[in-house]
């Protein structure tokens, strides 16, 4: 007879690892299933973890981080013009870059140390249901079955758990972004020279331009001996291949300069849900976390913090339900109520509003032009010859009168 667990977690990414760790620490019998050969094998996510993650989970401060990031550089391109807005933090970091494969392997060790059983090279293909149509476990490729009182779906944007539990259908195109990324090798000294300041703090670079995408952006994040260059675009406006979008980005003079002499050693493509959950995140015996639930901020596409937070929260709610002997949808609904009231629910709601304002109200091209013009007005270069600062700024402000309605909504 197949072994029975309290909780089966599908997917050993950030959300699944935190769910397994939290549940095991509460004394529950936990099985963590991963389709890759080890946690992190299938990881194609971002490399930057904001400082708030380390504040929320202090034990992560001892992890294998790459570089401290002390600057954000926002680059707005209009025609052949470039505006740079930079934010610097001298007495602390905005966060750290990491290598997700090694980072996920390190964090998964804490789940195992807490007592969770990790089983790799296991692809979940279906859910198991009882006569009342309640989920009671999962079925893996090859016919192996694992029974549990609660299944936590942490299996990414193409979640089998979400689909088989009928919590949602496949994501609509306007709710998905497609991201492509090159990772380049370069010496540690040269990366420091190109991307870091005198205090060795790194700079995260974000680029906005219609040449990159009318609904998306480009980025460059440095690590110790490599750096990544990527582009993300909403699928509903992707009229050409994402590879062409990346090629356009790589052809920008600044990007070309930063990648000169570096060698591409990794190429990855993945989808990200960018419009929040598209249905319930709970059912009879099921909870969804991380990308499987759609917990990615619509504004910036960041998902790691929401992933680990939702994994921990789901495990806590599941443990409470198990303690009360009730894992019904009515009992597990508490999870959805809690995440909606948390900072995560606020991020998703506000992020969606800002996304709609920028992409559909203003437009990336218009935003890039306005921010270029703001920089030109304040510095009087290029577009405002023979005018004082006051006259330059007044002329700029006259151009954005029609945007007042948008920002007052």
Q: What's the pLDDT tens digit per position in 347-406?
A: 888 888 877 777 777 777 777 777 777 766 665 554 545 566 566 666 656 655 554 444
What pLDDT is attached to residue 130? 94
Q: Are 68 and 202 in contact (CB under 8 A)?
A: yes
Q: Radius of gyration of the chain from Cα atoms?
A: 23
Neighbouring C-beta atoms of residue 133, cutoff 10 Å = 10
Instruction: Identify the CA nearest to 161 among candidates 141, 136, 138, 133.
Output: 138
**Cα–Cα distance measured from residue 24 to residue 17, given in angstroms and rounded to the nearest whole number:** 11
Phi-psi region for residue 11, left (φ > 0), alpha (ψ -120 to 50) or beta? left
What pLDDT is attached to residue 186? 94
Q: Is 402 exposed, middle or buried (0-12, 13-18, 19+ CB in 10 A)?
A: exposed
174-273 sits in which CATH class? Answer: alpha beta
What pLDDT is attached to residue 406? 44
DSSP symbols for 99-148: -HHHHHHHHHHHHHHTTPEEE-S--EEEEEE-TTS-EEEEEETTS-EEEE
Assigned fold of 4-64+99-168+277-354: FAD/NAD(P)-binding domain (3.50.50)
**330 Cβ contact list (under 8 Å, min separation 6):** none
Tell which wins on pLDDT, 200 or 217.
217
**Which segments of the chain belong to CATH 3.30.9.10?**
174-273
**Cα–Cα distance measured from residue 306 to residue 357, given in angstroms and rounded to the nearest whole number:** 23
Q: What's the pLDDT tens digit per position in 269-315?
A: 888 898 889 899 999 999 999 999 999 988 778 889 999 999 999 99
Break the chain down into helix, strand, coil percent, rounded to 5: 40, 30, 30
Instruction: Identify the CA nearest to 135 among candidates 117, 158, 160, 116.
Output: 160
**Cα–Cα distance measured from residue 362 to residue 154, given in angstroms and rounded to the nearest whole number:** 35
Task: Measure Cα distances from 409 to 87, 268, 356, 361, 403 in Å.
Answer: 28, 39, 12, 11, 11
Q: Any long-range contacts for 243-250 (C-beta under 8 Å, 24+ apart)?
A: 243/180, 245/180, 245/212, 245/213, 245/216, 246/180, 246/182, 248/211, 248/212, 249/207, 249/211, 249/212, 249/218, 250/182
Task: Measure Cα distances from 405 to 151, 265, 361, 395, 409 in Å.
Answer: 46, 47, 10, 19, 6
What pLDDT is attached to residue 408? 47
Neighbouring C-beta atoms of residue 47, cutoff 10 Å = 25
What pLDDT is attached to residue 168? 92
Give the range among 56-70, 191-205, 320-334, 346-360 with minimum mean pLDDT.
346-360
Give the range among 59-63, 132-136, 259-263, 379-383 with minimum mean pLDDT.
379-383
**Which segments of the chain belong to CATH 3.50.50.60?**
4-64+99-168+277-354
Neighbouring C-beta atoms of residue 265, cutoff 10 Å = 10
Q: What's the pLDDT tens digit per position in 102-118?
A: 999 999 999 999 999 99
What pLDDT is attached to residue 409? 47
DSSP symbols for 240-288: S-HHHHHHHHHTSHHHHHHHTT-EEEEEEEEEEE-S--SS-SEETTEEE
Q: Are 295 and 303 in contact (CB under 8 A)?
A: yes
Q: How far apart are the first and last CA of the chain?
A: 60
**Cα–Cα distance measured from residue 150 to residue 133, given in angstroms and rounded to the nearest whole number:** 14
Q: What's the pLDDT tens digit per position in 125-182?
A: 999 999 999 999 999 998 999 999 999 999 999 999 999 999 998 888 888 888 999 9
CA 198 to chain centre: 29
Report the pLDDT averaged over residues 262-275.
89
Bridge-based pairing of strands 30-33 and 4-10 is parallel
- What six digits make up the tokens of 396? 């700029």
């Amino acid at each position: 007879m197949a072994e029975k667990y309290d909780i089966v977690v599908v997917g050993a990414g950030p959300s699944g690892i935190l769910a397994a760790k939290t549940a095991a620490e509460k004394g529950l019998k936990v099985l963590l299933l991963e389709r890759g050969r080890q946690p992190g094998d299938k990881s194609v996510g971002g490399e930057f973890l904001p400082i708030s993650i380390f504040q929320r989970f202090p034990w992560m401060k001892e992890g294998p981080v790459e570089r401290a990031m002390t600057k954000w550089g926002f680059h707005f391109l209009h025609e052949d013009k470039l505006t740079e807005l930079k934010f610097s933090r001298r007495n602390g970091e905005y966060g750290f870059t990491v290598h997700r494969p090694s980072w996920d392997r390190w964090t998964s060790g804490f789940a195992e140390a807490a007592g969770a059983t990790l089983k790799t090279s296991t692809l979940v293909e279906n859910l198991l249901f009882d006569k009342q149509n309640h989920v009671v476990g999962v079925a893996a490729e090859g016919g192996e079955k694992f029974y549990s009182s609660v299944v936590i779906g942490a299996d990414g944007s193409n979640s089998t758990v979400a689909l088989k539990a009928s919590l949602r259908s496949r994501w609509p195109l306007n709710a998905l972004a497609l991201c492509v990324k090159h990772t380049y090798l370069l010496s540690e000294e040269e990366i420091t020279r190109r991307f870091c300041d005198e205090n060795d703090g790194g700079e995260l670079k974000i680029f906005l331009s219609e040449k990159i995408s009318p609904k998306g952006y480009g980025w460059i994040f440095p690590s110790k001996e490599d750096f990544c260059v990527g582009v993300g675009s909403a699928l509903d406006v992707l009229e050409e291949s994402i590879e062409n979008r990346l090629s356009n980005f790589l052809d920008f003079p600044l990007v070309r300069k930063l990648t000169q002499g570096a060698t591409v050693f990794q190429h990855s493509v993945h989808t990200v849900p960018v419009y929040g959950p598209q249905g319930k995140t709970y059912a009879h015996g099921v909870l969804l976390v991380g990308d499987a639930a759609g917990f990615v901020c619509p504004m910036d596409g960041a998902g790691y913090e929401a992933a680990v937070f939702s994994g921990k929260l789901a495990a806590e709610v599941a443990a409470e339900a198990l303690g009360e002997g009730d894992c019904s949808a009515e009992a597990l609904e508490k999870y959805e109520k809690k995440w909606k009231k948390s900072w995560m629910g606020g991020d998703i709601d506000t992020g969606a509003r800002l996304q709609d304002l920028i992409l559909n109200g203003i437009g990336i091209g218009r935003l890039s032009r306005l921010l270029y013009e703001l920089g030109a007005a304040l510095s009087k270069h290029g577009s405002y010859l023979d005018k004082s600062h006051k006259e330059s700024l007044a002329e700029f402000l006259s151009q954005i009168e029609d945007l007042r309605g948008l920002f007052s909504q």
